[in-house]
Amino acid sequence: MIEPAAFADAWRDRAPRAAHSETRNRNVERTMTNAFTRQTGISFSRLLALSLAWISLASLAEVSVQVERQEDAFNVEANLLVAVDRRVAWQVLTDYNNLASFVPGMRSSRIVSAPGEPLLLDQKGDSGFLLFRVPIEVVSRIEEVPLGAVRFQSVSGNLRNKRGEWALAQHDHATRVSYRASITPAFLLPPLIGPAIVGRDVRIMVESVAREMLRRADSTGQAMPGAALPASQ
């Protein structure tokens, strides 16, 4: 049994160390917050409140999106069943030069490689929501697995790394559309709201692609029975 006097002595020895550790943690948090405010002009507390409001709305969406942060990288996976033939889904995914016409936030998308060379896709857009916007520029090397997958790996731009794939799989009378990626920004995304921003961007992108698949299938009479548009943001 610990004697009261011994316990008191141990607590007095521990207290200064605990106080020092707490002060150091507060200083680190204050430094990150100040850096974010200087970069964006938005108070961290205000942006946090906005992100929490968005999270409560995002739970109503139909796309399954999971985001995991590992150090500076965001690993994201999204899945959605779309009631179209896989050939229609493939046509939309590989319509590289027209992606900006139906994906919100994407300002341009174009093939920049010469015929016969490895496929290079240059895309420009904006990431974020409400008052927080960051311009994105990335050139990716594209590898196609016909009717199965579109794989991408960034080779230049303001993302330190972006690699992953779009995948298509037949599922009864529908097509399962999957998006998996590991994204490492070269700019600051605060730890508490970074996953929310990445998740929102991916959700909007996947839903927009799915709506275009359904639109094209309907316009050509290839829509599957029971086809319905995914929830929009």
Percentage, residues of the chain above pLDDT 70: 63
Band (pLDDT 50/70/90 cuts) for residue 220 is: confident
Q: Which of 204, 153, 152, 162 is nearest to 186 (CA)?
A: 162
| 25-34, 130-139, 161-170: least confidently modelled range | 25-34
SS3 letters across the chain: CCCHHHHHHHHHHHHHHHHHHHHHHHHHHHHHHHHHHHHHCCCHHHHHHHHHHHHHHHCCCCCEEEEEEECCEEEEEEEEEECCCHHHHHHHHCCHHHHHHCCCCEEEEEECCCCCCCEEEEEEEEEEECCEEEEEEEEEEEEEECCCEEEEEEEEECEEEEEEEEEEEEECCEEEEEEEEEEEECCCCCCCCHHHHHHHHHHHHHHHHHHHHHHHHHHCCCCCCCCCCCCCC
pLDDT value of residue 23 = 54
SS3 letters across 86-142: HHHHHHHHCCHHHHHHCCCCEEEEEECCCCCCCEEEEEEEEEEECCEEEEEEEEEEE
Pairing relationship of beta strands 174-185 and 73-82 according to DSSP bridges: antiparallel
pLDDT value of residue 126 = 84
Taking only the tens place, the pLDDT of each residue in 199-209 is 888 999 999 99
pLDDT exceeds cutoff 90 at 77:
yes
Band (pLDDT 50/70/90 cuts) for residue 61 is: very low
pLDDT value of residue 28 = 45
Taking only the tens place, the pLDDT of each residue in 139-165 is 999 999 999 999 999 999 988 899 999
pLDDT value of residue 209 = 96
pLDDT exceeds cutoff 80 at 88:
yes
Over residues 55-61, mean pLDDT: 34
Taking only the tens place, the pLDDT of each residue in 92-130 is 999 999 999 999 989 999 999 999 999 999 999 987 654
Over residues 195-199, mean pLDDT: 81
